[in-house]
Chains A and B, each alone.
Chain A
């Protein structure tokens, strides 16, 4: 396994981790698709 494979593999792992993190965040409790139309996303 060469260094390029390790580097690209790590980059893909980070991307997938972030994708999983933001997916879980936006689907928290299965209540929200993050479409911003109801105002919940931006409530401060």
Chain B
């Protein structure tokens, strides 16, 4: 049987980068804490061992669900060895976990990561001295650059010795020894020291597992606390930090005088500034969207639409099928249905790839971690914490991992609110809708994408206030403690790999799910209920279905045209379907072939304000089925998931109606019954925001339900 090696360390110290390096995997890495939320396994072929990447933890007394994953694995699965990865740029904090891991009695190798950064800063770390002080092998590495990998592999292969635990002061060691005596035979032998120390700290899980012996142990702890005049957990933590400090002082020589500023510190003084932080972030995001939507990415999309599909694929496929005398219905199905639908979606691939590259660079450089810090100030005012921003950052790629990342939040109420609102931020699948509306109605302006992003953030903030007033979700926001990683130049391989994976996921979805959906949409739009082909699309089955539901969206400004209602409904399966549906319904194949674009057709059907209302509704309403499934897992019940989806749809409807009705009043001077409804909606939202207990009447029902 293969040896099992656990990879454990603090959040954002490079565990997944090392995991990828040792196993040849390509797991998602990110320059902020909490990227890994579940354990992952891979094989180290060089030594024939299984490597388990665990979520980052600061200590073995976990607070959030993903931290529990790490501790339970180390305790219950008892790996053959542990690679404890330590951020060499911040040893004191990282070694706190190390001191706890050494208590577990599992053979341990310390991988001192980011040694390249340490050298650059002029710091010298004596790994030999460190190794002697900690009683286990210490190897200096750079997971990003692949330095020290051979030595690390050699150290893992030969790791077999039980490490010696970090020694605490005599009174504490005496109490630990007494507790060990009581626990002997009641906990696994290898973990005796660990359970004894944890019992001394009055750790909840340790108390649960110890069971009946707790009464006697409690007396030992009471005696110690009386003698030392402090709480036992504070005593243990203080002793640990004191021992670590001695170890660090003896083995690390820092060039930088204390109080001096590193380059990262200097940059942070500007980008995390109370007043400048948010405007700089808005400027950066504008630049990102300007490059990806309006300029570089836009040029790529124009080429794919006009040349790749317009001149090559569509005319080529049509001519080839005609030359083979293939049945015209089948030809239309392939060209007008499958190629037109998928082509309309894939046309946006260049814009998405450029956006992915830029977002990966921002993430990997360490800038996005600063944004979570800056947003904490804003979010806190609205009842959420900066921790909620990490899932949102992840959600810009795909809502599913974004929702799952809400597990990093300790408070259950905050976690539920974050899982319910993360999908308000535009994911990559929504980008084609944004680019389509921006191109068709706003001259391809990057401001539309920027507005979409900030409307998503505003919707989350608004929901933070509203949902926090709901009795079962109220409470103070979680504390947000986050260490800002030092800035570094993003690795080219990381950027390419991450961009390729995101791009490939998009292409794969277009080639499977979207292809299938476009085939169904074409069939419904080409035939009537008696299965005869229609000359006019308005006589089709799809037109009848669209007309049956389109009245719902009349107050939003785009309910007069059934195609937009159908696009919105198909978007519930996958958001890319909105554009794919338009590709089929607006004859992307015909307009692309004649050199025209689909945009003028949409511009002729919608006013800019109606188009923006359509965009906002599709951004905020229920996410795709995959994201709804992820929400179900995080919220626990279908009832709560249904309530979350209903809330999202109602908010999307309200915001879109307000945008269209009040926008139309201001721009075109139109006034009607729905304008009154829009003002009433604004008044209702304002009441909920201002009132202290707008949902007081539900308090009784909610508490009953909770019981």
**Residues of chain A whose beta carbon lies under 8 Å from any beta carbon of chain B:** 1-2, 4-5, 8-9, 12, 15-16, 18-20, 22-23, 26-27, 29-40, 42-44
Contact = CB atoms under 8 A, between A and B. Distances in A.
A36 B516 contact: no
Contact of A4 (B38, B43, B53, B324): B324
Contact of A34 (B36, B324, B509, B515): B509
A5 B512 CA distance: 23
Interface residues of B, number: 48
A9 to B, nearest CB: 6
Contacts, number: 110
Interface string B26-52: 111000000011101111000000000
Contacts of B41: 43-44
User: Closest 5 interchain pairs by CB?
Assistant: A30-B629, A33-B626, A37-B401, A35-B398, A4-B324
A39 B515 contact: no
B619 to A, nearest CB: 17
B629 A34 contact: no
Given A36-B26, A38-B38, A39-B28, 14 more contacts: A2-B325, A5-B330, A8-B330, A9-B330, A15-B515, A16-B516, A19-B515, A23-B516, A27-B513, A29-B629, A30-B626, A32-B400, A38-B404, A42-B40
Q: Counting chain B CB atoms within 10 Å of each CB, which of A5, A12, A32, A38 scores highest?
A: A38
B630 A37 contact: no
B4 to A, nearest CB: 13
Nearest to A12: B334
B636 to A, nearest CB: 14
A37 B29 CA distance: 9
Contacts of B199: none
Contacts of B516: 16, 19-20, 23
A36 B404 contact: no
B43 A36 contact: no
B424 to A, nearest CB: 17
Given A37-B28, A38-B38, A39-B28, A30 B625 contact: yes
Contacts of A23: 512-513, 516
A35 B325 contact: no
Interface stretch (B500-508, B601-609, B664-672): B500-508
A31 B28 contact: no
A35 B625 contact: no
Interface in B257-299: none
B325 A4 contact: yes
Given A1-B327, A39-B28, A44-B43, A27 B321 contact: no
Nearest to A44: B41
Contacts of B394: 37
Interface string B665-693: 00000000000000000000000000000
Interface in B352-405: 394, 397-401, 404
Contacts of A16: 515-516, 519
Q: Counting chain B CB atoms within 10 Å of each CB, which of A15, A37, A44 scores highest?
A: A37
Interface in B151-207: none
Contacts of B43: 44
A12 B42 CA distance: 38
B501 A36 contact: yes
B400 A33 contact: yes
B25 A42 contact: yes
19 contacts: A1-B327, A2-B327, A5-B325, A5-B326, A12-B330, A12-B333, A12-B334, A16-B519, A22-B512, A23-B516, A27-B513, A30-B629, A33-B505, A35-B397, A37-B394, A37-B397, A38-B401, A39-B38, A44-B41
A33 B327 contact: no
A38 B37 contact: yes
Contacts of A40: 38
Nearest to B631: A30
B136 interface: no
Nearest to B520: A16
B443 interface: no
Contacts of A33: 398-400, 505, 509, 624, 626-627
A34 B508 contact: yes
A35 B330 contact: no
Q: Counting chain A CB atoms within 10 Å of each CB, which of B36, B325, B327, B628 scores highest?
A: B327
Interface in B298-347: 321, 324-327, 330, 333-334, 338
Nearest to A5: B327
Contact of A43 (B28, B40, B324, B629): B40
Contacts of B519: 16
A29 B633 CA distance: 11
B630 A31 contact: yes
Nearest to A34: B505
A36 B334 contact: no
B675 to A, nearest CB: 39
B24 to A, nearest CB: 11
Contacts of A8: 321, 324, 326, 330, 334
A44 to B, nearest CB: 5
Contacts of A43: 40-41
Contacts of B27: 39, 42
A16 B513 CA distance: 9
A35 B40 contact: no
Contact of B625 (A9, A27, A38): A27
Contacts of A44: 41-43
B316 to A, nearest CB: 15
B511 interface: yes
A37 B25 CA distance: 12
Contacts of B325: 2, 4-5
B632 interface: yes
A34 B219 CA distance: 53
Given A35-B505, A38-B37, A44-B43, A30 B28 contact: no
A26 B512 contact: yes
A35 B326 CA distance: 37
Contacts of B326: 2, 4-5, 8
A42 B513 CA distance: 21
A1 B53 CA distance: 58
A4 to B, nearest CB: 4
Contacts of A35: 397-398, 400-401, 502, 505
